[in-house]
Amino acid sequence: MISEEQVRATLARYVELVGAGDMDGILALYAEDARVEDPVGKPAHVGIEAISRFYREGLGRLDATARLDGAIRATRGCGAVPFCVDLDWAGQARTIEVIDVMEFDADGRIRSMKAYWGEANMVARGQP
């Protein structure tokens, strides 16, 4: 099981890569058989090909940036990262407040990602 420090570093790196729109970098963090629910409760994207489509057709088409929004909570093998995604949504500057919860495999790859956010977490930019 990967260490708390490795979990913390990978979650920080993930937010950097989302902010940079680096699809290849994001996908390299995932295990081949990973599972992504974003937002949690929606049907999961299972396997790296489905996950690749999800990121490229979603985030990859947006002019989005991302930033940490508080301390990463990490322990051995899993963790939770609060962050904000800033983007234009139908011509309006919006921020989506997200917490991603990730579980890692023995190789340090993400095997499960669940993104917690709802309608009220999409706010006008600059508003709390």
Annotation says 116 is catalytic: no
- Of the candidates 14, 30, 55, 100, the residue annotated as catalytic is 14
Q: 122 Cβ partners below 8 Å, 6+ apart?
A: 89, 94, 95, 96, 97
Closer CB to a copy of itself, residue 91 or residue 128?
128
70 phi, psi to nearest 5 deg: 130, 180
Alpha helices in the chain (DSSP H): 4-20, 23-28, 48-57
- Taking the complex as a whole, the smallest distance from the CB of residue 99 to a copy of itself amounts, in Å, to 4
- Taking the complex as a whole, the smallest distance from the CB of residue 66 to a copy of itself amounts, in Å, to 15
Annotation says 107 is catalytic: no
- Residues lying near a copy of itself in the complex (CB under 8 A) are found at 4-5, 7-8, 39-41, 69-71, 73-80, 82, 97-99, 101, 116-121, 128
- Taking the complex as a whole, the smallest distance from the CB of residue 118 to a copy of itself amounts, in Å, to 4
Rg (CA), the chain: 14
Q: Would you put residue 90 in left (φ > 0), alpha (ψ -120 to 50) or beta?
A: left
Closer CB to a copy of itself, residue 73 or residue 109?
73
Active site positions, annotated = 14, 38
